Amino acid sequence: SKQPYDDGNIFAKILKGDLPCKKVMENEHVLAFHDINPLAPVHVLVIPKGPYVSWDDFSETASDVEIAALTRAVGEVAKMVGADAQGYRVLSNVGKRAGQEVPHLHIHIFGGQPLGPMLA
């Protein structure tokens, strides 16, 4: 996607510390926090710290280190929140038609209950 990154989006504000979040983990490249409107008992968002809107954008622009960090964080976070034991789902909406509300790339982790065919 060639959509330019909007510095004023909600996750940008969270990353800058202008908005609070319930943090699960953070490192140089990644932030993970609880979704404000959880759709399952476990609902965590994992985001890269860089200004990426979509996977296309991320793939083209991010360094291998950033890409590795985001991928690694998903498993780490799932384990940290206990989703690991019961099974969990990883999902990412890209574009308005897919339900992407926040134009900063993010990965949802759902768990803590049996999961139906779709969530979010």
Site for ligand 5GP, rule CB under 6 A: 10, 19, 21, 33, 35-37, 45, 93, 99-102, 120
Q: How far apart are CA 53 and CA 105, in angstroms?
A: 5
Which of residues 54 and 100 has its CB atom nearest to ligand 5GP in the complex? 100
Which of residues 38 and 63 has its CB atom nearest to ligand 5GP in the complex? 38
Catalytic residues: 106
From residue 16, how far is each of 19, 48, 104, 114 by CA, in Å? 8, 13, 13, 35
Rounded least distance, CB 64 to ligand 5GP, Å: 25
Alpha helices in 81-107 (DSSP H): 83-86
From residue 55, how far is each of 32, 43, 116 by CA, in Å? 17, 20, 25
Rounded least distance, CB 81 to ligand 5GP, Å: 14
Rounded least distance, CB 98 to ligand 5GP, Å: 8
Which of residues 2 and 97 has its CB atom nearest to ligand 5GP in the complex? 97
Return the SS3 of 120: coil
